[in-house]
Amino acid sequence: MPERKRKWSNKSVSKKEVSKKEVLHTEEIKQKYSNLERNIKRRLIEWLLHVNIWDEWYISRGLSFTKDFEIRELEEYENPKFHFNLANIKEWTSKTLINSLKNSLFDEIDRNIEEEDIKKAYKNGIRKFIEMHMKKNIQYLVDKKNLTYRKFITQYHHLIKKWKDGIEKYNAYAQIGKLMNEKFWERAFSVQKDADGKEEIVFSELCRKYMFTLFYNANTVWKEWWKSISQVFHDGDFPFITDKTPADLEDYVEVVQYLITRDKHNPFWKRSEEWNKEWSKKTAQYADILWALTNNQLGIHKLVDNETYNPWLSEDFEDEPDFEWDYTTTNLEKIWGWQLTNIVESYNMHEKKWENPFRVWRRKKSLSSCVEKIIEWKKINDAIGFRISMEDASKDHFTDIEKIASEWIKYFVTSLENHPDKYVNAKDWEKIEIRSITIDNKNVLKIWEMNQILEDLNGILPGKVAKREKQKSSFITEEEWKNEMKEHHVDDFKDTEKRLTYLAFYRQITGGKPRGVNGAYKDFKFNVIIDVKDREGNSVWEKTIEVQFDDINNWVGLANYNIRNCERSINTQSNLSFNLPLSSVRKEVEKNIKKMAVWAKHKDRKFSIIDFFNGVKMNISWFNHRNISNSTDIDKTIIEVINYFIKKGSFFFYYKSRDWKTHPREDIMLSKWLLTTNNLDSDDLYNIQVVSSQEIWKQQYSYLRDEAEAWIWIYDEDQEKVLWAKLWDIVNRVNLWKRKDPQYYVVWEKVEG
């Protein structure tokens, strides 16, 4: 194997040079001081998020100590799914508090570490990290366009002297102030005089409308996620939020402070430390929704700004703010949908002679779905979309798709160039055009047909049409996995049972093994990116429209959207809480089964049958509500769905309060190593924890807290049994399996002395 080099600061240092260093951050040191490192990284991440709060697209993917104790931010390829955002800010984030933060961390290092050289190494790493990132915040505050914000936040520096409560309030003002500054600039603030005639800078009325809209929509999303607002605000806390009535900006600041405070207090709420933890999780999830709603993709700031093209809210807040897409999105959906429907209807009449006609369905993404995507740090590429359903996509549909798509694209190239006023506000924007089209083909067209469509559409839009390329895996290959395990976990590799266990985890997490069967799913999509430009030709807005051709039979069996949506909704809900009790997973699955039952009620019987590919088929046509007759079958279907995703590798599970060595698996009533309906009738409903596989591989062990010692179970299809390993060990190995940039390769030899 070629010699690995490590990038120290801005220089690549050879193995020989590294060996001269007095102290290296070895695996032994990392595990010995894991709790200390966990706290250092958490506190620095919170501070870092505050420093970059002005940047809408900034996220932190976590921090890591290098071998020489320097601290660096993880890159996307190292941690592609998990990220921290404003909901993770809890305390100690003020720029002026950085000395207190630094002194506090140094004091903790002094109390926990005896070795002077290691103390010094940790402190130097923290000092360098803070100095490097302080420049960003200073630059933001001295920028001329942010001077009003600087004056605004300076008024609240006195809060810092009030220790914890004051710090949290200062943080809330700083976060909301920066957010408003970025949304509305100078119009975010106004000047007024206090009782003594002294001028002070306050939030404008525009900001009050924005905060009212933000919380109104957050309540809507929370309800659409089948959650009760009393989980966040107990016993009538902040009634203006729960009753959806307007309040003063000071009141909203107090709510934000409440949401980001770690310590919750309500002596009557369940009277349990465990429930207080759950309360904190719910407030963090609610804060995550608020953060997602501030994303510019949703354009909520346009809904509240009376000076833009879409005023909706009166001065006295008499009207309720219903979420609606901005002017451009609405018109694109309306005009494009109308034209596409005309083209398809004409094609059905003249080409297909009304035999097996295509059907056009319009789809507008809900606010709740948009929030889910933004929380997962994805772009909303299907805010508006159209589905063209075919009776059987296995037939030759190349000519159909090519003709419909070509005619549709030709129409809009001309329409966007000649009539931009139909889509955008003429006084604000001047030009709108198709920036690019990406084609995604799943089992519909052959290779030569796909190439022909690319060639035809590039004739209409030269150089703007391309095939969707799959993202490269962020994990190493299986051969590299063997080498890494042999080098760094030789005992585990020699132990056959352990080797097979970690290999099973590796294959499921990296997608190196087929994950279940979703049938012969057929799908063909155009993702069209629309660019809105100002008079100077600068891109100021981006909209994506999705046009999908799919087989109507995709809705049969486990390819059904509502069943597959169980996986996504559980992944989203476990994003902050790491895991979910079987009680919560049961509710989520049952909700989706009932949705599917209603959808399939008046359709062909084949749409009501779920085939689990293990000899079990369930007819869910009578599952629209639970009663004595169908209760047992609903339970059986729920367990089959959960087990399906366990076998697929989407979910892992563990038992919360028992050690598997002292309480064997039979104690939790497994059958063939999987869950049974008996688990729904006992305390197991609350003690069995279902974990999204995404949560396993995206977590850094520094943030696992109490779950680190849990034994995670995975179903291995090859051996037809469940294997298990400690979560701490799995995450350590998963971090080893992530593909790293060469500059981060490390020298693993232990330095003597």
Q: Is residue 288's pLDDT more than 50?
A: yes
Contacts of 671 (CB under 8 A, 6+ apart): none
Of 218-227, 510-519, 570-579, 639-648, which range is least confident? 510-519
- pLDDT at residue 221, rounded to an integer: 92
- pLDDT at residue 54, rounded to an integer: 53
Let me know: does 457 contact 437? Beta carbons within 8 Å: yes
Structure tokens at 394: 């296995």
Of 22-26, 96-100, 365-369, 680-684, which range is least confident? 96-100
Q: What is the average pLDDT across 106-115?
A: 87
Place of tokens 């404003």: 86
The DSSP secondary-structure symbol of 491 reads: H
* CB environment 101-129: b (16+ within 10 A), e (fewer): bbeebeebbeeebeeeebbebbbebbeeb
Q: Is residue 251's pLDDT more than 70?
A: yes
Q: What is the CA radius of gyration of the chain?
A: 28
Greater confidence (182 vs 217) lies with: 217
d(CA 742, CA 223): 46
State the distance between the two ends of the chain, measured CA to CA, in whole angstroms. Answer: 26
- pLDDT at residue 747, rounded to an integer: 33
Q: Using one digit for the tens of pLDDT, what is the confidence trace for 296-329?
A: 888 888 777 754 433 344 444 455 677 778 778 8
d(CA 224, CA 485): 45
- pLDDT at residue 12, rounded to an integer: 40
Q: Please, where in the chain does CATH 3.30.460 lie?
A: 327-473+520-551
- pLDDT at residue 343, rounded to an integer: 92
Q: Is residue 637's pLDDT more than 90?
A: yes
Runs of H (alpha helix) within 95-248? 98-112, 116-142, 147-154, 163-184, 205-224, 239-242
Q: How far is CA 126 from CA 79, 119, 123, in A?
A: 22, 11, 5
d(CA 398, CA 465): 17
Q: How many helices (H) and strands (E) does the chain have?
A: 25, 19
Q: Is residue 549's pLDDT more than 70?
A: yes
327-473+520-551: CATH topology is Beta Polymerase; domain 2 (3.30.460)
Q: What is the average pLDDT across 445-462?
A: 91
Short-list 295, 330, 59, CA closest to 183: 295
Q: Using one digit for the tens of pLDDT, what is the confidence trace for 393-416?
A: 777 788 888 889 899 999 988 988
Of 168-172, 639-643, 707-711, which range is least confident? 707-711
Structure tokens at 236: 């009538």
Q: What is the average pLDDT across 423-440?
A: 82
Partnered with residue 725 across adjacent β-strands are 712
Contacts of 369 (CB under 8 A, 6+ apart): none
Short-list 501, 504, 507, CA closest to 477: 507
Contacts of 713 (CB under 8 A, 6+ apart): 652, 653, 654, 722, 723, 724
- pLDDT at residue 279, rounded to an integer: 81
Q: What is the average pLDDT across 636-650?
A: 87
Greater confidence (110 vs 557) lies with: 110
pLDDT band of 85, cuts 50, 70, 90 = low
- pLDDT at residue 105, rounded to an integer: 85
Of 78-82, 165-169, 211-215, 670-674, which range is least confident? 78-82
Partnered with residue 466 across adjacent β-strands are 438
User: In one letter, which amino acid is 176?
Assistant: I
d(CA 529, CA 544): 4
Q: What is the average pLDDT across 645-656?
A: 79
How large a percentage of the chain has pLDDT more than 90? 12
- pLDDT at residue 751, rounded to an integer: 33
Contacts of 588 (CB under 8 A, 6+ apart): 226, 566, 569, 570, 573, 580
Contacts of 297 (CB under 8 A, 6+ apart): 370, 374, 379, 380, 383
pLDDT band of 744, cuts 50, 70, 90 = very low
Q: Is residue 9's pLDDT more than 60?
A: no
Partnered with residue 432 across adjacent β-strands are 532
Q: What is the average pLDDT across 610-630?
A: 86
- pLDDT at residue 556, rounded to an integer: 76
- pLDDT at residue 634, rounded to an integer: 94
Of 77-91, 319-333, 484-498, 695-709, which range is least confident? 77-91
pLDDT band of 653, cuts 50, 70, 90 = confident
Average pLDDT over the chain reads 78
Q: How far is CA 436 from CA 45, 200, 429, in A?
A: 36, 48, 19
The number of residues making up the chain comes to 753
- pLDDT at residue 240, rounded to an integer: 92
DSSP one-letter string for 525-549:
EEEEEEEEE-TTS-EEEEEEEEEEE
Short-list 719, 668, 666, CA closest to 689: 668
- pLDDT at residue 697, rounded to an integer: 65
Q: Is residue 750's pLDDT more than 70?
A: no
Report the alpha-carbon angle 101-106-108, nearest 5. Answer: 95
Q: Is residue 437's pLDDT more than 90?
A: yes
Of 18-27, 33-42, 322-331, 476-485, which range is least confident? 18-27
Short-list 259, 289, 287, 262, CA closest to 276: 262
DSSP one-letter string for 697-744:
HH--GGG-GGGGG-EEEEEETTTTEEEEEEHHHHHHHHHHHB---GGG
